[in-house]
Chains A and B, each alone.
Chain A
Amino acid sequence: MATASSQQFNWVKFRKSVFSLTTGRGIASIIIFTILWEICSRLGVPIIGNVPPPSAVLAALGKQLVSPAYWMSWLDSFVRILTGFAIAQVLGIPLGLLLGVNRTARELIYPIFEIMRPIPPLAWVPIAVIFWPTTELSMMFVTFLGAFFTVVLNIVGGASSIDLRYIRAAHSLGSSRSDIFWRVMLPATLPSIVVGMTVGMGITWAVVVAAEMIASRSGLGFLTWRAYVAGEYPLIIIGMMSIGIAGYVSSALIRMIGSRLTPWLRTF
């Protein structure tokens, strides 16, 4: 699909981007931030003084990194995220396409979405706990909701705003209805699907962490909350950072998949 040169890894470009002024400034910014935090924390500057210093966090981190319980928290959160997210895609993408393409379906089903959309996924936690037999399922359900609405709404937006020219051109070139769907509507909607997935992934992490704090006995959200309850303040920071990294990795993965799916949007 892509040209030969773009498939080979460009070392010069890579080296230039790693050893650039921008990267240097980024690293400097992080180092200065950490030092300031350490100083403020030790001097007992109001508010910031309550936060454990980076040195204490680092000390506590060593213990966590070798603890199976810590890694189990990662695993538990990831399983919830991936299950909820995957089901949201499996149900949301076809539904979004149907609503985008079929006016009758859209007019019948979309109003329900309009009503449900403003309800924050977390507001579903109590009813989800009642509704589902296990906490685990209710947690996945709430995660699913977080991604589902975003995905469907994005796809409907994308599919209903396809330029008429493309459909006319495809008709003119002799396409059948299924050709129009597979060769025009679906690829034209793919960028919106990718955007929906990326945004949905972000929401999913926000939802799962809060849900774990409210209703779970495991996961990174629970780890952070338990650290607070137990008064292990450095562990709170570790929990927060872990969630940040986990969220970043998931988004990066989605972006990577997204750029594979839409090679024509890549800028060279």
Chain B
Amino acid sequence: MNTAEKIATNERGRISIRNVTKVYDPDGAKVLAVDNCSMEIEAGEFCVVVGPSGCGKTTLLNAIAGFHSITSGEIHLDGELLCSGQKRTQPGSDRIVVFQNGALFPWYTVLENVTFGPVVQGGVNEKDAKDKARAMLGQMGLEGIENNYPSEISSGMRRRVEIARAMMNDPSVLLLDEPFRAMDALTKTVVHQFLLDVYDKSKKTVFFITHDLEEAIFLGSKVYIMTTRPAQIKTILNVDIPRPRDFRALSSATYIRLKKECIEAVHEEALKAFKAGEREMA
């Protein structure tokens, strides 16, 4: 926390991924998931990683989060070594993950979920934490549900609550692993807007994984397109759509041009992945 406090908020969250390789070795069958992958993510960048299913995107996210080790290479956060082939990091509240299927605790109310981080980390009194949580929920358009259990609110609300729970800890990096997958298109547009608002206000570094290209371009500052497994960076697209963005950006000429570039790059990889899948099946 100390080192993080020394660095001003807008300079926190620089991630440097250097030559990371990950080999999964279940029962001796060596599977190369990530191959010599390097990325430089600036502080406050909205980084979106796109790639075919099973290409190793989540492996990379889990390594940053501290859920998995890496085989070789290094990952640095704000100049400090987070993990390498020799060192495994522990999960921490400076890098909070929002999971694919959501991980709100069903046994806690919305408010208890959002204050979970400050409560377990200690050092704040309960009232302050609750006030901050209510403000956070308000900012996300979630008034009036603080005493409900997650099962009682819609999936779009749940995902927003989860983002609020992450933001409560003032993390350096927000790690989002296909958070809006399996969400209907209408709900998605609403949740996108809230995420963009939160991002514009906080300017946190966001590491966002998806295979929805439209989502990637609409949200991201940079879109990293990955190759099929073993994962490497194939192309980096700079999304020069001005912020704040809203749904109108979806019909801008820049958006359409980027989408075309993106589709072409991804299609090639998707085809490779598909063929590889067929080979495995045969």
Which residues of A are in contact with B by a Cβ distance under 8 Å?
1-3, 163, 165-166, 168-176, 179, 183-184, 187-188, 190, 262-264, 268
Q: Residue on A with the closest CB to B102?
A: A165
**A165 cross-chain contacts in B, Cβ below 8 A:** 99, 101, 103
Are A168 and B91 interface neighbours, CB within 8 A?
A: yes
Q: Is the interface of B mostly helix, strand, loop or mixed?
A: loop
Are B148 and A3 interface neighbours, CB within 8 A?
A: yes
Q: How far is the CA of A175 from the CA of B66 in the complex (A)?
A: 14
| B93 beta carbon closer than 8 Å to chain A | yes
Least distance between A111 CB and chain B CB atoms (Å): 25
Which residues of B are in contact with A by a Cβ distance under 8 Å?
65-67, 90-93, 95-97, 99, 101, 103, 105-109, 116-117, 120-121, 147-152, 165, 169
**B101 cross-chain contacts in A, Cβ below 8 A:** 165
Q: How far is the CA of A100 from the CA of B117 in the complex (A)?
A: 25
Q: How far is the CA of A170 from the CA of B103 in the complex (A)?
A: 9
23 residue pairs of the A-B complex, CB under 8 angstroms, read: A1-B109, A165-B103, A168-B65, A168-B91, A169-B97, A169-B105, A170-B116, A170-B120, A171-B90, A171-B91, A172-B66, A172-B95, A172-B96, A173-B117, A173-B120, A174-B93, A174-B117, A179-B120, A183-B120, A187-B107, A190-B107, A264-B107, A268-B152
Are B116 and A173 interface neighbours, CB within 8 A?
A: yes
Q: Can you name 7 extra interface pairs (CB under 8 A) apart from A170-B116, A171-B91, A183-B120?
A: A165-B99, A165-B101, A172-B66, A173-B116, A174-B121, A187-B107, A264-B150
Are B105 and A166 interface neighbours, CB within 8 A?
A: yes
**B97 cross-chain contacts in A, Cβ below 8 A:** 168-169, 172
Q: How far is the CA of A166 from the CA of B116 in the complex (A)?
A: 12
Are B120 and A175 interface neighbours, CB within 8 A?
A: yes
**B90 cross-chain contacts in A, Cβ below 8 A:** 171
**A190 cross-chain contacts in B, Cβ below 8 A:** 107
**A2 cross-chain contacts in B, Cβ below 8 A:** 147
Q: How far is the CA of A171 from the CA of B147 in the complex (A)?
A: 24
Q: How far is the CA of A184 from the CA of B113 in the complex (A)?
A: 11
Choose from A168, A174, A184 the contact partner of B105 (Cβ within 8 Å): A184
Q: Residue on A with the closest CB to B162?
A: A169
Q: How far is the CA of A142 from the CA of B58 in the complex (A)?
A: 52
Least distance between B238 CB and chain A CB atoms (Å): 30
Q: Residue on B with the closest CB to A164?
A: B67
Are B147 and A172 interface neighbours, CB within 8 A?
A: no
